[in-house]
A and B are shown apart, each in its own frame.
Chain A
């Protein structure tokens, strides 16, 4: 099974550059604007798109992404509409990998088998589900792999060498290294520590390693891109979106561009990076 994720990372490897992965919340602040943002991301330089599934109780997220989820929910966003958004995106783009990121409960309530079938049909390539560690692989990870979707696991600073094999066992697509012990958008990632961690994980897997949590600026993205196969930016984009909204939290004429422009400048940072020696 080769997904769009595998194809994209193979292309980037050939081109000798690191991936730029963008995270935005599905339906933030509304479905139409959100679809336009997602459509604008590849043109602005995103190599992989992570799309957040809104949830009322996002335990691993900081205030920015919490608020983004609540804005989306307030405007009627659901998991079903998140899949509609993906279908809308796929009408014009059949190559950019798209990964859904979120928490398990909305998927569990949707029904795992139905969700996997609908997600695959809609054009989803992979899943990152924060509250499903390897200990709960039977829930969604194994069924997702069977359904032809990548299951991308988070590795963290607390995942030691003894535990890494268990974390990597059913991981596919890429490994998401969480650069800090903390929530999204909190501390800044330290590029040297990240470099060591990436090297450590590479001793256990051939999968590409993307690094996220704590990357906000083109400089930071560039520093990480020199150490890893990809860098993920989420909170900074969500903040740019929020700053473009009107006083009532509605999208304005500036909203799509605000996200696209920051994406472009971050992508420039990543593309300026020297690829780390393999």
Chain B
């Protein structure tokens, strides 16, 4: 396919929410008026200095930003190539990058007068962040989570309940993130009058992919400033894991027009790309689901297929529409890492740096293990360490002791 390069990679989407052919607003009529309201409210909030100022206050004192850009010296030595920096999103309050977006959306919900918040969650990180901010602002919180994920991410389920959220295990379909999203959409259609749907990733109907990206772009914006401070220049490459792709988009977006910066997104290859996996770009094609057109895993009839990843947060058969566009236009390279590669990276980072990563960014570390040794020692590589591994300790512990596979 021959696609003309745009003047800027950062100007999307168009007014109808399209990134090239991707994105859009494929939702039931019941939701359409709400989505238009949300777009209006977001446009107004963006232009309101008071909104940004209030958010900055919470980002600094409640979330704990800026998150450090940390030189991973022993990982760098071990791999013997590029100089590796970790963007420490796992140090945020609630333990992942998810809180950046949730804070923005909850503040929007407050502006819109919504008192009831719903969210879908896979690994539970988005659910925990949503439950946290609902507690902070006194809002009702209902989280939909696939029954399979409820099982494998128990620590986060307990956290959400402690924070006062109601966790609804979803029994339909494959009982993972995709079904949690279906169920959240069904709740939203039923409770449109008082409910705000806090989507956790850069997917869903317009304007969600854009507003989530904007709230997460603080990751890349800080990285730019921090790298300038320590190295006096731009990084040479960026690496981040991708389920829906919000941590990756947050890191990538501010750098898209810096042509010297190589960008790598890492999908979950599960048992391998010829078997069960969750790599929508590597193994899927464009289709329409959950409000947007994007790369999806599906069969010849357009039925959505089951995804698989060891990491609940990446276990989704789609990807944000802007990633699909960045793939087609060739600006970002999309790679994939298997369950086993992620497990090896999980252990390596724990042993070398004393940082237990979540299984999601362990996929990014796994590709750093391949990419870094092939690059010179003055190459600056930034990895988004999007979440910490506390939630995965019981699951990985069982796997390493040979209890489960």
Q: Report how far A62 CA is from B172 CA in the complex, Å.
A: 11
Residues of B within 8 A of A57 (CB): 173, 178-179, 182, 289-290, 304
Q: Report how far A158 CA is from B173 CA in the complex, Å.
A: 28
Tell which of B29, B189, B296, B304 touches A133, judged by Cβ atoms closer than 8 Å: B29
A59 and B30 contact, CB distance less than 8 A:
no
The answer, yes or no, to whether B34 is at the interface (CB within 8 Å) is yes
Residue ID in chain B nearest A106 by CB atoms: B302
Tell which of A55, A135, A182 touches B190, judged by Cβ atoms closer than 8 Å: A182
B27 and A133 contact, CB distance less than 8 A:
yes
Q: Report how far A21 CA is from B79 CA in the complex, Å.
A: 67
- Proximity string of chain A (26-67) to chain B, C-beta cutoff 8 Å, 1 when within and 0 when not: 000000000000000000000000000011111110110010
- A60 with B298, Cβ < 8 A, contacts A133-B29, A136-B24 known: no
Q: Report how far A136 CA is from B191 CA in the complex, Å.
A: 24
Could you tell me the distance in whole angstroms from the C-beta of B34 to the nearest C-beta in chain A?
7
Q: Report how far A55 CA is from B34 CA in the complex, Å.
A: 25
Residues of A within 8 A of B25 (CB): 133, 135-136
The answer, yes or no, to whether B401 is at the interface (CB within 8 Å) is no
Residues of B within 8 A of A80 (CB): 301
Q: Report how far A152 CA is from B167 CA in the complex, Å.
A: 37
- Proximity string of chain A (137-150) to chain B, C-beta cutoff 8 Å, 1 when within and 0 when not: 00000000000000
Could you tell me the distance in whole angstroms from the C-beta of B7 to the nearest C-beta in chain A?
25
The answer, yes or no, to whether B53 is at the interface (CB within 8 Å) is no
Tally of A-B residue pairs with Cβ under 8 A? 117
Residues of B within 8 A of A105 (CB): 287-289, 296, 298, 302, 304
Task: Give B138-184 interface residues, CB cut-off 8 Å to A.
Answer: 172-173, 178-179, 182
The answer, yes or no, to whether B16 is at the interface (CB within 8 Å) is yes
B302 and A60 contact, CB distance less than 8 A:
no
Q: Report how far A132 CA is from B291 CA in the complex, Å.
A: 9
Residues of A within 8 A of B34 (CB): 158
Residues of A within 8 A of B28 (CB): 59-60, 130-131, 133, 154, 156
- A132 with B302, Cβ < 8 A, contacts A59-B186, A105-B287, A105-B289 known: no
Q: Report how far A157 CA is from B33 CA in the complex, Å.
A: 10
Residues of B within 8 A of A109 (CB): 287, 298, 300-302
- A158 with B182, Cβ < 8 A, contacts A59-B290, A105-B288, A108-B287 known: no
A156 and B29 contact, CB distance less than 8 A:
yes
Residue ID in chain A nearest B287 by CB atoms: A105
B33 and A60 contact, CB distance less than 8 A:
no
Tell which of B26, B33, B186, B296 touches A131, judged by Cβ atoms closer than 8 Å: B26
B32 and A60 contact, CB distance less than 8 A:
no
Residue ID in chain A nearest B191 by CB atoms: A181
Instruction: Count B interface residues, CB 8 Å.
Output: 37
Could you tell me the distance in whole angstroms from the C-beta of A157 to the nearest C-beta in chain B?
8
Residues of B within 8 A of A132 (CB): 26
Tell which of A104, A159, A183 touches B29, judged by Cβ atoms closer than 8 Å: A159
The answer, yes or no, to whether A203 is at the interface (CB within 8 Å) is no
Could you tell me the distance in whole angstroms from the C-beta of A168 to the nearest C-beta in chain B?
11
The answer, yes or no, to whether A73 is at the interface (CB within 8 Å) is yes
Q: Report how far A157 CA is from B26 CA in the complex, Å.
A: 19
The answer, yes or no, to whether A246 is at the interface (CB within 8 Å) is no
The answer, yes or no, to whether B256 is at the interface (CB within 8 Å) is no
The answer, yes or no, to whether A273 is at the interface (CB within 8 Å) is no
B30 and A158 contact, CB distance less than 8 A:
yes
Q: Report how far A240 CA is from B298 CA in the complex, Å.
A: 31
Could you tell me the distance in whole angstroms from the C-beta of A246 to the nearest C-beta in chain B?
23
Could you tell me the distance in whole angstroms from the C-beta of B306 to the nearest C-beta in chain A?
9
Where the two chains meet, the residues of A that have a C-beta atom closer than 8 Å to any C-beta of B are 54-60, 62-63, 66, 73, 78-80, 103-110, 130-136, 153-160, 163, 167, 178, 181-183, 186
Given contacts A110-B301, A156-B28, A158-B192, 17 further A-B contacts (CB under 8 A): A54-B303, A59-B290, A60-B28, A104-B26, A105-B302, A131-B27, A131-B288, A133-B29, A136-B25, A153-B29, A155-B29, A159-B32, A159-B33, A163-B33, A178-B30, A181-B192, A183-B190
13 A-B pairs with C-beta separation under 8 A: A56-B304, A59-B28, A59-B185, A63-B172, A73-B303, A105-B304, A109-B302, A131-B291, A133-B28, A158-B34, A181-B30, A182-B189, A183-B190
